[in-house]
Every structure is written in C-alpha cells, then in structure tokens.
A and B are shown apart, each in its own frame.
Chain A
C-alpha cells in the first residue's frame, strides 16, 4: 500500500476501488448498491492527490469481494478505476473495469414518460454506447450526466 492509500485504513479482506475520479466515490457506492444497510465496513477517501488523475477517490469495502460483473458498471463513471481484491492484507488480484454491453437496474431513465419510470415490474436497462448509454425501452440517450441518474438505493 502507498502512503496515499494509507490515508484511509488498510483492510484485511475485501475490495479496494482505486483511481476513481475525484468526487465520484459516493456515486461508486450508489452504483454498487452499497449504502451501509448490510453492515459492511466502508472507507472512503475523497480528492486525494494522484499522479494519474490529479485528484482521485478511493473506496474500500471490508469483507466483500466484488465480482468483475459487479464492478464493470463502474466504467460508466470511473473508466480508469482499478479493482484490488485483498485477502489477509495482501492484494491477490488487481484488474481494470471494462465497459459492459448493458447495465441493468443501476440507472433511472431521464425520460419522465418512459414506461420504466412507472409502476411496472421491470428494472431499467441501458445499452452502453461509445459515449453514453441508451434506454433499451424508450431509446433516450444519456450522455454527459450519467452520474445524476444513478438510482437511489
């Protein structure tokens, strides 16, 4: 662990999400559906200095190893993020996020007239484009403001 990473406490087992753009850590948690209700110990470092990003956020989730499918959706707001799986204080896996073809249930459609915003038994589904996402139901394209349409947990 570097000094920067030590600004928030080391974890024994779990997942460290590094190289998150500054200010996006809470959105990362929202996308992952982590709100503390399940009792996870979560540490967040925000706007720590970074050679690569200038400023970055770090999220450490104790006792939970996130799968590649779970973290790939983070590529929408944190394409440079690295995922470290930690066991007994050692990083035993390190990988990058990759853009998924679709994301399910993570975002809400910005089109207030989309059927997914009504009381129907479906979760939202967005196809991932090169520079945004598109609602699979109404076709609305969401570009720059993805973070503002993360569904609340």
Chain B
C-alpha cells in the first residue's frame, strides 16, 4: 500500500489490504526483520478522545520499528482547550513529526486534517465515522481464524454510531463475504454506509435477533452500544443491554465460530465466553501491534 493518508477503509483495495496483512504476518513471525527500520522517525499522536488500545499500540508499534512518538496529551492540557482549531493544531504538529495519528470526536476530522498538512495522516477514529486501522487488525484476525473469502460474518450492536463497524463493512466488500447486520431498529447502519455497500454489490442482510443469523456464521463481531455517541440519554437507555452473548447463546452456533470485539466491552459479551474456543477478542487486540507496525512501515 502506498497512500499519503489513511482516512477511510473505503480507500483500501483488496491488494492494499493483503499487502498490509502479509507484511504484518511476516513481522509477527519475526519481529527482528523490522527492528530499527525506522530509527529517527517521529510519530505524532493526537488523541482528542480517550483511547487505550489504539494509542498504546501505535506507540508500541512505532517504538518497535525503532522510531519515537510524541503525544499531544489530553485535550485539557493542550492548546485545544484555548479554542485552537483542529486545522491549526495539525499544522503546528506536522512540524514536529513525520506522520500524524489522529483520533477526534467529529466525523470528517481526519479528512479535514489531511487537507492541511503534507505529512501522512492516519485516522485512528473520527467520531462515528471510520476507524480503518482497527479494520486492518480485524481483517488480520479474521484471516487467521476463519479466512476472508467464503466468509459469513454477523456484525452486532451499535451499527449506527460504530466506526469500527462502518470501516469493517466497507473493507469486506473487497472479499467474498456475506455480511449480516444485527441491531435494534434505532441503531441500523447509516444511510451512507448502506449506499456504499449496495454500490459495491453487497447485499445488506439485516436482523434484530442474533439467533436469526447465528447458526450460519463463521465470525460474530460484537460491538458495544456506545453511550457517549448518543445525543439523547433516553435513546441510549432504550437499547442499552439489548444484546448479550454468553456461552448459552453460543450453544446454537457452529463450533468453529470466531467471536470478536474491538473492545472495550461492557456487558455485551459475558465473561463465561472468555474461556471458550470462540473467544478471539484478546488475540484481536494483540494483533494491533504487528498490523500497525506493517502499516507504519509502508506509510513512512
């Protein structure tokens, strides 16, 4: 892959994806192949929203490549608190770093940032928009556990505000994947994502009950109902706790079902699933390191 910026999974071709995943597999098998490959490189981390996995894995990935990171810190301790625009913030920090990793609560923020700087911008989540690097590690995990073609996947939970969902659905249009979307009526896929999927020739199969699709799935991708994205607390309460995947539910699933989750989880996957062979979400989170190393190796 050779892109100036990684803003959306929509920009990724099958070749782009496979190139990153293949490189990630090489790195996972032998991390020494890239040790020190990017010595002297500085990666700027700009997280305007809380993050654990994405921030730390980008930090670790850059350091394992021999580079350094600089971190804007929390919004409260930065010039953003003084009212600085995002456009100004990124124009300043591009002078300090060779690439920027940006997480921001507003949709379209990464695209905007990319229009104001010359260094590569990697979207690490823009509101309820996109999260393409999560998708790359999701695809890596799916490829390792179930394969990316002849795949039947059920994506469940917050499909309206879930940026990992939007990016994954877009990326899977590159593969022979049957996509099932399971959510409450009020959290169905946004119009724009449905438009893109249909334009790509993907059938949007929608359900409100997990059981309707579960028996035929290779992968169940569970997402959290994200309280912080709801403009109205009442709207959140109406759907909170709508789905809970537990070992009893999984008795009606295929024995090879892979259960994934971008994490953090609240109560949508019961702890009793952790000990089953279905549970893949911690492996999924760990895959963030080789995948982000591969991505940075290609971008920088």
- Classify chain B's interface size: 20 to 34
- If A113-B127, A113-B128, A120-B112 touch, whether A138 touches B87 (CB-CB below 8 Å) is no
List, in ascending order, chain B residues with CB within 8 A of A112's CB. Answer: 231
Interchain nearest-CB distance for B117 vs A (Å): 13
Residues of A40-95 at the interface with B, using a CB-CB cut-off of 8 Å, are none
Residues of B106-151 at the interface with A, using a CB-CB cut-off of 8 Å, are 106-109, 111-112, 115, 126-129
Residues of B150-208 at the interface with A, using a CB-CB cut-off of 8 Å, are 190-193, 195
A122 (CB) vs chain B CBs: closest residue: B112
A112 (CB) vs chain B CBs: closest residue: B231
List, in ascending order, chain B residues with CB within 8 A of A143's CB. Answer: 191
Contact of B86 with A by CB under 8 A: yes
In Å, the complex CA distance between A50 and B178 comes to 51
In Å, the complex CA distance between A5 and B247 comes to 74
- Classify chain A's interface size: 20 to 34
Is there an interface contact between A137 and B85, defined as CB atoms closer than 8 Å?
A: no
In Å, the complex CA distance between A3 and B129 comes to 53
- If A122-B115, A134-B192, A139-B129 touch, whether A113 touches B105 (CB-CB below 8 Å) is yes
Is there an interface contact between A115 and B106, defined as CB atoms closer than 8 Å?
A: yes
List, in ascending order, chain B residues with CB within 8 A of A120's CB. Answer: 85-87, 112
Interchain nearest-CB distance for B294 vs A (Å): 27
Is there an interface contact between A137 and B111, defined as CB atoms closer than 8 Å?
A: yes
Query: What 0/1 pattern do residues 113 to 149 of A give for CB contact below 8 A with B?
Result: 1111011111000000100001111111101000000
In Å, the complex CA distance between A129 and B195 comes to 11
Is there an interface contact between B87 and A122, defined as CB atoms closer than 8 Å?
A: yes
List, in ascending order, chain B residues with CB within 8 A of A118's CB. Answer: 85-86, 106
In Å, the complex CA distance between A121 and B89 comes to 12
B231 (CB) vs chain A CBs: closest residue: A112
| 8 pairs, A vs B, C-beta closer than 8 Å | A116-B112, A120-B86, A121-B85, A129-B195, A137-B111, A140-B107, A140-B190, A141-B192
Binding site for B on A (CB under 8 A): 111-116, 118-122, 129, 134-141, 143
Extra A-B contacts (18), CB below 8 Å, given A113-B128, A119-B83: A115-B106, A115-B112, A115-B126, A116-B108, A118-B106, A120-B85, A120-B112, A122-B112, A122-B115, A129-B195, A137-B112, A138-B107, A138-B129, A139-B108, A140-B191, A141-B191, A141-B192, A143-B191
Closest 5 A/B residue pairs (Cβ)? A137-B108, A138-B107, A138-B108, A115-B108, A139-B192
